[in-house]
Amino acid sequence: MPNFVVKVTLSNGDLLSPMTVACESETAAIALARSQPFIEAGSQIDAKTVRGDVMKRAFGVQDDGKIVVRSDWLWSPDGEPVPPAE
């Protein structure tokens, strides 16, 4: 199952914490994020593929069709998710 990191930009320009998703496509990852009650209408949602081995090494196995908010991650100035330092 493909893995994605999802970036949500609220209508006021604020970024939510990065989210990870294991699902069948980028479109499905965006739809799953959009369905969350804390995502406001009009938010910009982008998804980027993450290698499965990288996801598994960082978090273990994530259930298919589940979204996990990574509140300990940040966004770098160039828009890439930054996991916490080990």
Strands 3-9 and 44-50: antiparallel
Give me the torsion for CA of 50, 72, 75, 77, rounded to 10°.
Answer: -130
Name every residue whose Cβ is closer than 8 Å to that of residue 4 and which is 6 or more positions away in sequence.
20, 21, 22, 23, 26, 29, 47, 48, 49, 50
Name every residue whose Cβ is closer than 8 Å to that of residue 26 and which is 6 or more positions away in sequence.
4, 47, 49
pTM of the model: 0.80
From the list 12, 45, 53, the residue with the least C-alpha distance to 29 is 45
- Parse the chain into domains and list their residue ranges: 3-75
- 19: tokens are 């989210």
Tens-digit pLDDT profile for the chain (86 aa)? 788 999 999 999 988 988 999 899 999 999 999 999 999 999 999 999 988 888 787 777 788 888 988 887 777 777 777 777 65
